[in-house]
Chains A and B, each alone.
Chain A
Amino acid sequence: MSKRAVDAVFQALFILSDLRFLLRETAPQHDLDEAQRERAATSLEKVKRQIAILEEEMVR
């Protein structure tokens, strides 16, 4: 389990970094346009998948 869990942690952090960058690009109002909202949604889906892996590997 360890390699899969470690990869999921890094992947999740990397995807969250993309979201962080999006917050920077859109500061201060964070008024996201359609393309940016789509990017955010895609990133969030990806993070959820990594969290699910972590739950499988580390909690169950």
Chain B
Amino acid sequence: MKCAVDIESRDVEEMYINIDPIQAGGRLTADAMKAAISFGDGYSVCDNCRSPFRLDYIQKPPIAQFHADLAAWLNMDAARVVPGARRGFQAVASTYVGKGDPVIVTALAHYTEFMAVEEAGGIPLEIPKDTANHITPDAAAEKIEAVIREFSRTPPLLFIDHVDYQFGNVHDVAGIAKVAHQYDIPVLVNGAYTVGIMPVDGKMLGADFVVGSGHKSMAAPAPSGVLATTEEHAGRVFRTTQAKGDVTGRTFGLKEVEMMGCTLMGVTVVGMMASFPHVRERVQHWETEVAHSQAVVDALLSIEGTKVLSDYPRQHTLTRIDTRESFDAVAQQHKKRGYFLSGELKKRGITGVIPGSTKVWKFNTFGLTEKQIRHVGESVVGIARENGLNIL
């Protein structure tokens, strides 16, 4: 079925259980779908924009209140919606990083953090991960010392992923922030895999900036996200324009430079807002989500030869699994080669595993029902059994 000329309708979420690692937390709520129907037009939230003309001042729909609620929910002092977490990184890097500045990232940092630093003219330098795939406060301290020795200056910013995208491991952000603050380095917490799916308290983490992704973890349309900060930093990162036209003499009021004036002007912000009550509620059930994740991991681990590369027991719904000695061994002999696994999963109504992957792959169980979790677990075991693998 086509939804427009040459565009097939997307019914992946209706037809399958989707365990794609990046898509799970961004699935819309029913309310966000309704908001998308209502606010699909380009500048749809601007009907009631009144002086001073800025997105975060709009009262109807209640975007101003949403901004205040977002900040409070993250236990931060100020928040802005942004077009994706990456634009949050960019706003902060553009404000704090100068040409040639060393900036601390990690060996598990998302590529967009590197790009934000690069665009600002900085030099990204990674805190190495340990053998358990963790970024530790000790490693952060060692890296900061080494960077100061090499550059003879203190890095203006440190990025740390609350949960990394490679393993879905939870890192000691509070410990790392404590170290960074001993050197007066502001800390940006990348909460793309936490804000909206598990409880996040910015102050408790010691964050100077918390960045979240609407489309990855807040059940919102893309591109959307949030940048929250403290009173100390808000004036700087959310500074207003001083620009003046030399011919016209025009000035631009309270527009914020890093936000390029306004950010999410339609379906994105209203979708975030519509999902927000559900998101606020669902983070309270994080333990159930983790238990679901654990159940699927345990089903996989019951297949002889399978290993989990993420922390075990699981503390998150994103997991990296190693099936080189189980499903990949089957793939070597199978007529469909590596495609057999995604094919077999699809036959059972499960999608989201990259076709061809049988070695090391990731999946995310966030948001699935108990019944769906059971189906995924039984399916992987069933596929293994049908292909001659031992079940422990």
Contact = CB atoms under 8 A, between A and B. Distances in A.
Interface of A: 10, 13-14, 17-18, 20-21, 23-25, 27-29
A13 B36 CA distance: 11
Nearest to B348: A28
A29 B37 contact: no
A29 B14 contact: no
Given A10-B37, A13-B37, A14-B37, A27 B14 contact: yes
Contacts of B16: 27-28
A13 B34 contact: yes
B372 interface: yes
Contacts of A21: 29-30, 33
Main SS at interface, chain B: helix
Given A27-B349, A28-B348, A17 B372 contact: no
A28 B15 contact: yes
Contact of A28 (B30, B37, B349): B349
B33 A28 contact: no
A25 B30 CA distance: 11
27 contacts: A13-B37, A14-B37, A17-B30, A17-B33, A17-B37, A18-B30, A20-B14, A20-B30, A20-B33, A21-B29, A21-B30, A23-B14, A24-B14, A24-B27, A25-B369, A27-B13, A27-B14, A27-B15, A27-B16, A27-B349, A27-B372, A28-B16, A28-B348, A28-B350, A28-B375, A29-B349, A29-B375
Interface of A is mostly: helix
A27 B34 contact: no
Interface string B6-27: 0000000111110000000001
Interface in B349-392: 349-350, 369, 372, 375
B278 to A, nearest CB: 11
A41 B74 CA distance: 39
Contacts of B369: 25
A33 B382 CA distance: 24
Question: Which of A14, A18, A27, A29 neighbours the largest number of chain B CB atoms within 10 Å of its CB?
Answer: A27
A10 B37 CA distance: 8
Given A21-B30, A25-B369, A29-B349, 9 more contacts: A13-B34, A13-B37, A14-B37, A17-B30, A20-B30, A24-B13, A27-B372, A28-B349, A28-B350
